[in-house]
């Protein structure tokens, strides 16, 4: 809509008064806020493991955790103006823990996850359960859950962290607590004692013990762990995920993601935390997925194989342990380029948050170039509602 010269002159005439009262003529900002499609911010980007990993040791060799709390490097998307985020809504980093390390117990508003790539003996203790990780294992630390980290092994371990920090920051809800206290039965005073690490109160493999049989869960109390809307299962073992993927490889799968499985809350089937979805996907030898796009942003980590992901015409060639990001509303497809070998990707997206807020939309590109709605906008049709007596 064009603004007439007379109207523009009138608005210009009141600008100083509006500025003094911290007001803005909406016509000025309308073109920024009422746009037909999301404005590009984060860009498609790939971080090669052989280029990234050496910087962990170079940056932190000989540096004590007592000084830095974490030996962690955050992934910075080139499109976000220097902010330490992999995508507009997703934070990703890699951490290294040396043998004997103990990173003190704490909790925060952001929901977090760890996914082990290298080494053995690394652990995260969540709510009294010591979760010992092997390659490909996922441990979640839902918001508000006390947790600590360490390495009981004899070699350094490296894992990938993904958190919803950008979303938490957007709502101005970022907060972290480091002072952790436990009641000690041996204490004469009975007063809670500040501790660096949690006391282990659950048996080894407790998550698996409670929820290791699909469709069968205990109903006598221990399944209710924590007070948040999150999964009570904290550790997801890769061997279980890999077995499921292999068993399903004969199915047609998703035209956009191949054989795709999601880590879920065993009590509800929902995502493990309210804001993030954790997934694993298998691309069979030579498999090429169809092109689609969605408002959700996605982070990928390559567990097995080689291939590429084409994002808005940009080709991201990936191999084992590489990490890459597909920003929201970007056309993309995946290709496994290795004959006779599967490719397996670990994926984290912000889809659950978008679905809860009513923001999620997905489209597919057909062979002729036409665009089809997969998950469309809500369709409010007044005529249909009237004919239905609504």
Strands 138-141 and 112-118: antiparallel
* 258 CB neighbour count, 10 Å cutoff: 25
Residue 234 to residue 232: CA distance in whole angstroms? 6
pLDDT of residue 349: 98
The four Cα atoms 113, 150, 159, 239 give a dihedral, to 10 degrees, of: -80
How distant, in Å, are the alpha carbons of 144, 168, 171, 186, 355 from that of 111? 8, 9, 14, 34, 17
Q: What is the token pair recorded at 374?
A: 């997969």
The per-residue pLDDT for range 57-110, each reduced to its tens digit, is: 899 988 888 888 889 999 999 999 999 999 999 999 999 999 999 999 999 999
Q: pLDDT confidence of 237, banded at 50, 70, 90?
A: very high
Domains defined along the chain, listed by start: 45-375 (2.60.120.10)
Q: What is the token pair recorded at 122?
A: 């690394």
Residue 112 to residue 87: CA distance in whole angstroms? 15
Residue 385 has pLDDT above 70, yes or no: no
Give me the phi and psi of 12, to 5 degrees please.
-65, -35
How distant, in Å, are the alpha carbons of 28, 142, 221, 386 from that of 6? 15, 56, 71, 42
The per-residue pLDDT for range 309-365, each reduced to its tens digit, is: 999 999 999 999 999 999 999 999 999 999 999 999 999 999 999 999 999 999 999
Residue 160 to residue 348: CA distance in whole angstroms? 11
pTM as predicted:
0.93
Is the Cβ–Cβ distance between 158 and 101 less than 8 Å? Answer: no
Tell me which long-range contacts 69-78 makes (C-beta under 8 A, separation of at least 24).
Answer: 69/103, 69/104, 70/95, 70/103, 71/95, 71/96, 71/97, 72/96, 72/161, 75/47, 75/323, 75/325, 77/42, 77/43, 77/45, 77/325, 77/327, 78/43, 78/45
pLDDT of residue 390: 42
The dihedral region occupied by 227, where left means phi > 0, alpha psi between -120 and 50, and beta the remainder, is alpha
DSSP 258: B
The per-residue pLDDT for range 139-185, each reduced to its tens digit, is: 999 999 999 999 999 999 999 999 999 999 999 999 999 999 998 87
Mean pLDDT, the chain, rounded, equals 93
Residue 30 has pLDDT above 50, yes or no: yes
pLDDT of residue 188: 74
How distant, in Å, are the alpha carbons of 41, 147, 211 from that of 130? 39, 9, 16
The distance of Cα 362 from the centroid of its chain, to the nearest Å, equals 18
Residue 238 to residue 259: CA distance in whole angstroms? 15
């Amino acid at each position: 809509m064009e603004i007439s010269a007379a109207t523009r002159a009138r608005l210009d005439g009141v600008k100083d008064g509006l500025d003094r009262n911290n007001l803005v003529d909406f016509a000025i900002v309308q073109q920024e806020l009422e746009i037909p499609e999301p404005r590009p911010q984060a860009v498609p980007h790939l971080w090669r493991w052989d280029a990234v990993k050496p910087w962990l040791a170079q940056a932190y060799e000989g540096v004590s955790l007592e000084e830095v709390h974490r030996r962690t490097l955050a992934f910075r998307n080139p499109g976000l103006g220097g902010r330490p985020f992999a995508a507009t809504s997703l934070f990703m980093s890699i951490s290294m823990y040396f043998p004997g390390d103990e990173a003190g117990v704490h909790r925060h508003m952001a929901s977090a996850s760890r996914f082990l790539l290298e080494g053995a003996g690394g652990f995260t203790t969540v709510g009294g359960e010591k979760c010992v990780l092997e390659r490909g294992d996922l441990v979640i630390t839902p918001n508000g859950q006390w947790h600590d980290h360490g390495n009981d092994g004899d070699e350094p371990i490296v894992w990938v962290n993904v958190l919803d920090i950008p979303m938490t920051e957007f709502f101005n809800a970022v907060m972290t607590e480091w002072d952790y206290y436990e009641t000690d039965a041996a204490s004469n005073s009975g007063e809670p004692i500040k501790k660096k690490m949690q006391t282990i109160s659950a048996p080894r493999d407790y998550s698996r013990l409670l929820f290791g049989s699909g469709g069968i869960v205990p109903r006598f109390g221990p399944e209710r762990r924590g007070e948040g809307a999150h999964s009570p299962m904290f550790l997801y073992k890769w061997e279980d995920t890999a077995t499921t993927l292999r068993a399903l490889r004969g199915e047609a799968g998703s035209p956009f993601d191949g054989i795709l499985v999601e880590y879920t809350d065993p009590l509800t089937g929902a995502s493990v935390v309210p804001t993030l979805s954790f997934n694993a996907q298998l691309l069979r030898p030579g498999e090429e997925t169809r092109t689609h796009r969605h408002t959700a942003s996605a982070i990928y980590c390559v567990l097995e194989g080689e291939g590429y992901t084409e994002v808005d015409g940009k080709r991201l060639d990936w191999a084992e342990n590489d990490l890459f990001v597909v920003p929201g509303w970007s056309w993309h497809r995946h290709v496994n380029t290795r004959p006779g070998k599967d490719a397996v990707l670990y994926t984290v997206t912000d889809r659950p948050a978008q679905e809860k807020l009513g923001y999620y939309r997905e489209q597919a590109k057909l062979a002729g170039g036409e665009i089809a709605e997969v998950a469309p906008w809500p369709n409010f049709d007044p005529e249909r509602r009237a004919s239905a007596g609504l």
